[in-house]
Every structure is written in C-alpha cells, then in structure tokens.
Chains A and B, each alone.
Chain A
C-alpha cells in the first residue's frame, strides 16, 4: 500500500526541540521530492519545507528558517524534520507530503508545477509550558 506515516509529535516546552519522522512505503521514495506541511488548530494549511529527491536542495518558509531542518534517508525510505527553538505558534498537526512538479537542470530547480499528491495522517506537535 502506498502510504506515509508520521511519528515523533508530542508536548514540548517553548525553546525545546523535537524530531519528526515520516516512513514511506509502497513507492520508490528516492524518486520524489518530499515536504512538510502544518496546520495549526482550527487554521489553514501552511507549507513548511521541501527537499529534493537526493537531498541536495531544500526550501523553507521564512518563519522556520534557522530553526527547522528537513532531511531524508533514501536507504531507509524516511523523511525527517528537526525542530529547534520551538515556539507556541509552531503548535500544529504536521503532515508529511509527497511532492510532484519539481524539475532541476544545470544546477537550478523550477517548482512551478508543484503539487502534493500523497499525504500522511499527520502528527500533533504542541508547544506549551
């Protein structure tokens, strides 16, 4: 079965750290860009980060730059999100999502066709004292 399963969420104090994991199965993980998307309670979707198939390109939303790091292990079919210096406004359900529409050539990437074609069920991160 083609699926993404997130884990690692939980309650953490402001300023703390957490590492999210996403286990992929049923497809060739190394052939796809991957992403994290979050949704605060009662709010809309917010893209967090993208990572290229081989991990060589990464993109982040401004609010997490310098605090969050996206990474992947293609041998383990796994995606990660290391979250440091967590704040209350990072509280959200974090979804792992498979991305399509990213094309790279000559050292630059074009993501104008971007869409998410597979989503996990999400893992809840709560930042509170």
Chain B
C-alpha cells in the first residue's frame, strides 16, 4: 500500500489529453513539493516534473504539473504512442522522514 494514491491505469487516443492524479496528505503533498517520473518499458525512471510544475530541460511542454491541497496532477497533451509508460508521483513525507512514491499509473495510448 503506497502512501500516495494513483489510479492504476489511464488510457486515451493519440492526440488527446490525459490527466493522472496523485493523492496524499498534509504530511507529504500538502506541505512539500511534488515530482513526477516517466518509466518507459524496460528502462530507468526519468524526471518529468519537479517543484510541482517545473519541467527539466528537454522535457516538452506537452507535460505539465499542478498541485492543490493534498493532491497533485500530471497532464499530458497531444498524446503519442511513445508516451506509453508507467508514471509515478513522489514527494518527501515530513512525518515519516521518507521519500514516498505513488503506486504508479500505466498509460495506454489506444
């Protein structure tokens, strides 16, 4: 059971938009910053979003992040088949003194 809650799967057609939610509590998302990671099949995770809504150099603006209260959301527009991957949210939990992740969401581009 992950500290952060994500839907197990989402799907959408190429060119469409999808959002992935990440729900936590005041000890993690509510008072700290959220990051998002993309893990393509058979590869290591890659940073997509940090500080709730900032994109590292090289990440296209099709990827966006937001946070409200104890929840965060990853948005992906203009879906491509190459976006099929597992997506994870993460943050620091101040009560546990742990980094915590969501259970991951598998994105299928139909």
Q: A111 with B92: in contact, given A35-B99, A116-B37, A117-B50 (CB under 8 Å)?
A: yes
Q: With A and B bound together, what is the CA distance between A121 and B31 in angstroms?
A: 31
Q: Is the CB of A45 within 8 A of B44?
A: no
In the complex, per-residue mask of A103-125: 1 if CB is within 8 Å of any chain B CB, else 0:
00000000111111111111000
Most A-side CB within 10 Å, residue of B35, B88, B94? B35
The one of B88, B90, B94, B100 in contact with A112, judged by C-beta atoms closer than 8 angstroms, is B94
Number of interface residues of B (CB under 8 A): 30
Cα A47 to Cα B104 in complex, Å, equals 13
CB proximity to A under 8 Å, residues B1-55 = 2, 31-33, 35, 37, 39, 43-47, 50-51
Specify the main secondary structure of chain A where it touches its partner: strand
Contact in complex: B97, A59 (CB < 8 Å): yes
Report yes or no: B47 in contact with A115, Cβ–Cβ below 8 A: yes
Q: Mark A26-42, 1 if CB is under 8 A from B, else 0.
A: 00000000010100000
Residues of B within 8 A of A62 (CB): 96, 98
Chain A residues with CB below 8 A from B88, complex form: 44-45
Min Cβ gap B103→A in Å is 5
- Contact between A112 and B44, CB atoms less than 8 A apart: no
**Are A47 and B47 in touch, CB under 8 angstroms?**
no
CB contacts (< 8 Å) of B100 on chain A: these are 47
**B97 proximity list for chain A (CB < 8 A):** 59
Given A45-B39, A116-B35, 12 more contacts at CB 8 Å?
A44-B88, A47-B101, A59-B98, A61-B98, A62-B98, A111-B92, A112-B92, A114-B91, A115-B90, A117-B47, A117-B50, A119-B45
Residues of B with Cβ closer than 8 Å to A? 2, 31-33, 35, 37, 39, 43-47, 50-51, 56, 86, 88, 90-92, 94, 96-104
